[in-house]
Chains A and B, each alone.
Chain A
Amino acid sequence: MLTVAPESGAGCQEGAIRHWSRAAIVGTLDVDMSTSVPMPLGGDPPGASSGPRVVHAAGSGTSGARAGTSAVAVGVAAAVEVESLSKHYGEVEAVKAVSFSVLTGEVFAFLGPNGAGKSTTIKMLCTLARPTAGRASVAGFDVERQPKAVRRHIGLVFQDQTLDDQLTAEENLRFHAVLYGVSHEQVAERIDRVLRLVALQDRRADLVSTFSGGMARRLEIARGMLHTPAVLFLDEPTVGLDPQTRALMWDDVLRMRDEEGVTIFLTTHYMDEAENADRIAIIDYGSIVALDTPDALKRQVGSDTVELVTADDAAAGARLASAGFQVSSGGDGLVVFAENGESQVARLVETAGVAVRNVHVHRPTLDDVFLHYTGRQIRETPADRSVGRSMRARMARRR
């Protein structure tokens, strides 16, 4: 097992949590792809003491207290711990014995196609659906035994909108603050803060019915953060939003993580979006088929390839091969397999020794990763959005 090497003294710095979780993630890179990801051993994470919420989880991190019950090592506060969690709806096995842990301060993405079991997993973690088997804890509270405590410590943004559009942004937030027991003195301050986090402070007195879809979504995210949850769950937060709004929303999410230290658990079926996460779990037919950092996942699929078109491919190929590169000849040119393709380009060109006309570096994408693990592709097609909407409408009617 690997250990984390936290950046020394990073404890009080801005973004410490992020650095720490990156380090932790890198530390687990070479661990096999089993669904339960072992946590780094030992050493208090520097970020752990800077977040207000770690308090809850920290209690559970005392040495040995849980040693027998989970793969999570001592001393590290896991925001979400899931063990062999399953959910069956009659014959349908929506979620099949998934296990994973999410570290405090991490952005964790569930990536999977429609019907993979993403929402079902979120519902179980948020105590809205009862697991058929297995156990899960969120912010240190068991989802089955302490549902109310779990709900108090999580923020939740559903796949469908849940704002009252006849109220103003501020009124929606105030309603939420009261229901989540934010103390009187803190309400105004928290509302100011979360509105600023999503840059909607100028619209606070406007009715939500005057908001665009993207603004409403961002207000919901702000609302999810209002009661300083330990974990913020976002179910497909960007579905139906245009690319700019999606980018803005991601800025919001990352800013919240950095400034409020919240752990973020989100689901998506957009590849490009999953890239933003610290770690990704790919879920398909209710099972986690891969779980790692985006980079590590891509590396597992294969190395970078560099395509070279030269004046004399045969000569260049021979020289490159004798220099130790793995070369094959592609359609019109050479294909060289190289770790860190971009940084190798200069050397490749030099080694080739003939005029190079064209260079193209190809990195494996998450699409390749998804294809590799599931044998299928999830692509956003133009139809994607309308399908999603009509499906939502259908579901809405059903409930």
Chain B
Amino acid sequence: MTVIDGSFQDVGAAPLVDERAGFAAELRTVGMVWERELIRFVRTRTRILSSFIQPILFLFVLGYGMSTLVGTTGGFDFKKFVFPGIVAMTVVTTAIFSAISIVWDREFGFLREMLVAPVSRGALVAGKTLGGATVATVQGTIMLALAPLIGVHLTVPLVVEVVGLELLMAVALTTFGVFVASRIQRIEGFQVVMQLVLFPMLFLSGALFPLKGLPAWLAVITRVNPLTYAVDPLRHVVFAAQHMPPAAAARFSTGVDLFGTALPLWGEIGIVAGFAVVFLGLAIAGFGRTE
């Protein structure tokens, strides 16, 4: 109901004494917004549970179901193949869910409390992003507990690598989610986003199937999907830590070919980081414009 003229908030104020408290104050704001995300996450146990149910269902139903069909190559089966994809799926879903909570914040008015405060939108978006990303990374990492059940071998360095990649993926997806949320006016819009954006992105990312030997149209779609470049590095580091016979490595391949050449790992990570930066900018620009 309060219409905030977006442009008006940007009117450059003449410098004032307390205006320069600056960076430390912004940092405190980021920390506080982050903390709120964590408090809310810990408090909504149903949300924690429900965000595990879907990936676990996928892992077992799809994993075991397909394993009988696909068969085992050198001790490697579809369950093991799909496991990193499922971890990525958990991270992505949780990140988007966290970011989209802005729609609820708007509905229940709390967004306005944040927007009228004398802090920058950048600090609010950064806090929200880091909060959502932390939650998503925690969820994804908890999923690793299922690794022994699947027969995926975990080492400390592997877990560290996985957590790092999860964090990058989570930040990228949360900024994307914040951007989308700033365009959504109503809670109903959220369902649409899930159906039209999140699920297609997840299914066409290589999380659930190898990217080699796809029909041309599907290959193009997966290469355009930024999630592809987030999922593949995760699978790559997990597989690198397994004892994979060459036959299995050929069958359940990792790596993304782009214009006929295999993209290096850092290239994929760079794409995801670039995606995060672009959407961080868009999220900051869009945040608050909507009220």
Contacts and interface: CB of A to CB of B under 8 A. Distances in A.
Contacts of A148: 13, 16, 19, 118
Interface string A145-186: 111110110001011111111110001001110111100000
B1 A152 contact: no
B4 A128 contact: yes
A144 interface: yes
Given A167-B39, A176-B113, A181 B32 contact: no
A162 B8 contact: no
Contact of A165 (B11, B108, B118): B108
A226 B74 CA distance: 66
Contacts of B2: 119, 123, 128, 158, 399
Interface string B109-139: 1101110111100000000000000000000
B45 interface: no
A346 interface: no
B10 to A, nearest CB: 9
Contact of A156 (B21, B106, B116, B185): B116
Given A146-B16, A149-B19, A129 B113 contact: no
A166 B44 contact: yes
B29 A178 contact: yes
Nearest to B31: A178
Contacts of B9: 127, 147
A357 interface: no
Contacts of B8: 127-130, 147
B32 A174 contact: yes
Interface residues of B, number: 41
Interface string A376-399: 000000000000000010011111
Contacts, number: 113
B1 A396 contact: yes
Given A126-B116, A175-B32, A181-B118, A395 B1 contact: yes
Contacts of A160: 1, 109
Contact of B11 (A147, A164, A392): A147
Contacts of B116: 126, 128, 151, 156
B1 A129 contact: no
A147 B10 CA distance: 9
Interface string B3-46: 11101110101101011010001001101100010011001100
A129 B4 contact: yes
B186 interface: yes
B44 to A, nearest CB: 7
A156 B116 CA distance: 9
**In the complex, which of the residues B1, B18, B43 has the most CB atoms of chain A within 10 Å of its own CB atom?**
B1
A163 B39 contact: no
Contacts of A119: 2
Nearest to A159: B1
B161 interface: no
Contacts of A163: 109-110, 113
A392 B108 CA distance: 12
Given A129-B4, A148-B19, A399-B3, A164 B32 contact: no
B4 A167 contact: no
Nearest to A392: B1
A399 B291 contact: yes
Contacts of A128: 2-5, 8, 116
A127 to B, nearest CB: 7
Given A147-B8, A164-B36, A180-B117, 17 more contacts: A119-B2, A128-B3, A129-B3, A129-B8, A147-B11, A151-B116, A156-B116, A160-B1, A162-B113, A166-B39, A167-B39, A167-B40, A174-B32, A175-B32, A180-B118, A395-B1, A399-B291
8 contacts: A148-B118, A164-B108, A166-B44, A171-B36, A175-B113, A179-B118, A399-B2, A399-B185
The 3 A-B residue pairs whose C-beta atoms are closest, nearest first, are A162-B109, A179-B117, A178-B32
